[in-house]
Amino acid sequence: MINPGNELRRTSGDGALIASAQPEPGEPLLTLEFLGPTVYADGTSVEAGDVIAVRGKDYREQYRRLRVEHPELSNVVYGHAVEANGRVWLQYWLFYFYNDYQLSFGIGTHEGDWEMVEFRMDLDLDRPDVAVYAQHSYGERRHWEEVEKLAGNPDTPVVYVARGSHASYFEPGFHQTEAWHDVADGKSRASSRLKLEILAGEGPSWTRWPGRWGRTVPGDSGSKTSVSNSPTGPGVKQLWSAPDQLHIDALPARTVDMKAAPAPDVRIMRAGGRLRIEYEVTERDPRPHQLVMTVDSKDAVGVPPSTHNIDVDASGHATVTTAIVLDPLKRYSIYTSAVAGDPPIPSESVLTEVEPYAESKLTAGQQALRRVSGAVARLRGDRRRRDA
């Protein structure tokens, strides 16, 4: 609720404001503790249609600012244990500020996103025997022995998160869903370790609030053509108290057998402080209509990757100097896919590493800033190692 643009509103009537993260005098302050299953902290009744709305549609910039100004919010996973039919399930819930699926004209883009994976415990062996990963409107299950584990840690399962849509997969690759194609290639790792917060018992009151975490409705994403509502919270979903139902409904273990089109031929460089891309897709059939770039920098502490779309010229080749600013002091990892066809299908991505300018190309001020930035990064790294 720290985001200044967050507002709790009715969707009925005139959409009255209930609480705000930046309240005017006399207005309630919006916090997690303010939410409840039937009444808010100030006694106002809860309606199922209430929403936590983001002010404006600049989701990427609001998310970036939150990650920079509040790094404690990054990579938090909420753990919940529940018993069903004599078996204990461990659930792990993750909240995403927005769904940023940009690989098919923004289909599926919406404010807020709750995703989860769960594991059924074998108490005799003191380990799981089954894993279920949620994937949009369904899930996939596997025996624990068939789940990939983190190298050197046989108790830590690996989850491949789909680019932008956040669905969870057991294997890296190209996955077909009911509405689009997910890319979960595992090429980009989490920037820091996950932080576990336990939701004991039936969970805090905010988990059981029946409203929606975002105000997106199908066809009105604020940008393009969402096919999804903003989600409800964990505690009001059936699988919160009936985790075995997702297991029953889930698809059995699948092996990725789909092949994406080859990555596009691109060249990326710096140009006047911005990102410039040269591309050549003339010979591809069908001809791509768009390039999708994910820009990340491990030197930009706390800054999340950003996704950008570039329309392909009718000729199939061009050089484009984008509005994407590249800091001369930082390294960047840029993944580029081509999107073609109807319905749109993304290709494999190609990685381009962009190095910082050499010391000799920096001004005196930039050289001084590089030394300061390096010292700050080392201090933060030392602190993170101590906290880990």
Shared domain check, 91 and 169:
yes
In a domain, 1, yes or no: no
Of 331 and 377, the structure prediction assigns the larger pLDDT to 331
In a domain, 307, yes or no: yes
**Stretch 167-188: mean pLDDT:** 77
In a domain, 295, yes or no: yes
Q: What is the CATH number of the domain that holds 347?
A: 2.60.40.10
| Domain hosting residue 386, numbered range | 362-388
> Could you report the per-residue pLDDT of 3-62, keeping only the tens digit for each?
777 999 999 888 999 999 999 999 999 999 999 999 999 999 999 899 998 887 777 788
Question: Mean pLDDT: which of 189-193, 252-256, 277-281 is highest?
Answer: 277-281
Shared domain check, 243 and 338:
no
Shared domain check, 236 and 177:
yes
Shared domain check, 222 and 272:
no
Contact by Cβ (8 Å): 136, 165 = yes
In a domain, 14, yes or no: no
Shared domain check, 174 and 292:
no
Shared domain check, 168 and 144:
yes
Shared domain check, 237 and 145:
yes
In a domain, 239, yes or no: yes
Shared domain check, 386 and 342:
no
| Average pLDDT of the chain to the nearest whole number | 84
Shared domain check, 307 and 198:
no
In a domain, 156, yes or no: yes
pTM: 0.77
Shared domain check, 159 and 79:
yes
> Could you report the per-residue pLDDT of 338-354, keeping only the tens digit for each?
999 877 788 888 999 99
Domain count, the chain: 3
> Could you report the per-residue pLDDT of 193-214, keeping only the tens digit for each?
789 999 988 899 999 999 999 8
Shared domain check, 230 and 95:
yes
Shared domain check, 282 and 183:
no
Residue 190 scores a pLDDT above 70: no
